[in-house]
């Protein structure tokens, strides 16, 4: 491992990733703002690592956290997002992004002077981060952390604000409709088997409490005899 591998320039990598997302039509704002969610996965991975307190390749995990979704810039948005609606078969295109992330991540890290060994480790995590697209028989601790961070990053406050962004963009739904949606849905972290680590489940539960509190507070805004 060279000096650059031991001390990745996370800020530089994030700037490169953000720049690439900002060039896209859909992944720079609204419900698909990957500049925000990349940041959240990175910070969530740091939180898991700190609370887990186990030996792991922190530099590899955090670098992969920044690069794991970069393959989305290669997705054909026409197969995902139509005029004011999401395409029925959007998942087929969406699930290509982990593999698309590999060559992009490789190029970025090579240009930054990282070793081949380090690049391979990061690319493996990036390409395997989504359990819906890639089945890994024995998950390393590093992969478990990245997968959990990717899920938890969309919990809590993020899970609260996304329905407003999504419904406003695609469903022409009112604020009242978005609040109703929040009232009847659960966080995906609560789905059985989604998270790998006990500490991740604890962190997710804490963030879900925050989201539920926000939902309870905003629900009071539509307590009216004018509504059913």
The tally of domains found in the chain comes to 1
Does some domain include residue 157?
Answer: yes
**Residue 206 pLDDT class (50, 70, 90 cuts):** very high
**Residue 187 pLDDT class (50, 70, 90 cuts):** low
Domain residues for 209? 3-222
Place of tokens 């990745």: 8
**pLDDT of 28 strictly over 60:** yes
**pLDDT of 25 strictly over 90:** no
Does some domain include residue 227?
Answer: no
**pLDDT of 26 strictly over 90:** no
Does some domain include residue 187?
Answer: yes
Contact by Cβ (8 Å): 143, 136: yes
**b/e per residue 195-210 (b: at least 16 CB within 10 A):** bbbebbbebbeebbee
Contact by Cβ (8 Å): 145, 61: yes
Q: Which range, 39-53, 160-174, 187-201, has the best average confidence (pLDDT)? A: 39-53
Does some domain include residue 228?
Answer: no
**pLDDT of 55 strictly over 90:** yes
Residue partners of 25: CB distance under 8 A and separation at least 6: 77
The enclosing domain of 149 has a CATH number of 1.10.3210.10
Paired strand residues for 85: 82
Place of tokens 């970069």: 70
Average pLDDT over residues 131-160: 87
Angle, in degrees to the nearest 10, between helices 58-67 and 116-128:
60
Task: Return the minimum-mean-pLDDT range out of 9-18, 57-66, 101-110, 131-140.
Answer: 131-140
Average pLDDT over residues 65-71: 97
Paired strand residues for 82: 85
Q: What is the pLDDT of residue 78?
A: 64
Question: What does the block give as tokens for 185?
Answer: 């849905």
Average pLDDT over residues 5-34: 93
Contact by Cβ (8 Å): 212, 218: no
- Distance from C-alpha of 98 to C-alpha of 102, rounded to nearest angstrom: 7
Q: What is the pLDDT of residues 73-101, one digit of tens each?
A: 988 776 666 545 555 566 777 788 999 99
H helices of the chain, in order, are 3-6, 10-22, 34-52, 58-67, 90-94, 97-111, 116-128, 141-152, 157-166, 175-184, 198-219
Q: What is the pLDDT of residue 70?
A: 97
Average pLDDT over residues 199-223: 94
When the pLDDT of each residue in the chain is averaged and rounded to a whole number, the result is 88
Q: What is the pLDDT of residue 163?
A: 85
């Amino acid at each position: 491992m060279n000096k650059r591998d031991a001390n990745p320039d996370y800020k530089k990598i994030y700037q490169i990733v953000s720049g690439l997302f900002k060039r896209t039509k859909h992944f720079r704002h609204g419900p698909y703002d990957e500049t925000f969610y990349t940041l959240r996965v990175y910070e969530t991975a740091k939180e898991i690592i700190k609370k887990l307190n186990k030996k792991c390749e922190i530099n590899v995990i955090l670098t992969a956290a920044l690069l794991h979704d970069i393959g989305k810039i290669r997705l054909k948005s026409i197969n995902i997002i139509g005029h004011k609606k999401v395409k029925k078969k959007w998942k087929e295109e969406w699930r290509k992004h982990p593999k698309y992330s590999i060559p992009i991540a490789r190029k970025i890290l090579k240009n930054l002077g990282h070793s081949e060994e380090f690049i391979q480790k990061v690319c493996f995590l990036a390409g395997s981060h989504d359990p819906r697209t890639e089945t890994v028989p024995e998950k390393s601790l590093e992969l478990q952390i990245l997968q959990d961070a990717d899920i938890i990053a969309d919990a809590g406050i993020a899970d609260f604000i996304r329905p407003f962004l999504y419904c406003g963009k695609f469903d022409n739904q009112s604020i009242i409709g978005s609040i109703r949606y929040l009232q009847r849905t659960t966080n995906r972290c609560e789905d059985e088997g989604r998270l790998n680590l006990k500490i991740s489940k604890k962190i997710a539960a804490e963030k879900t409490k925050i989201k539920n509190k926000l939902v309870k507070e905003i629900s009071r805004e539509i307590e009216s005899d004018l509504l059913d």
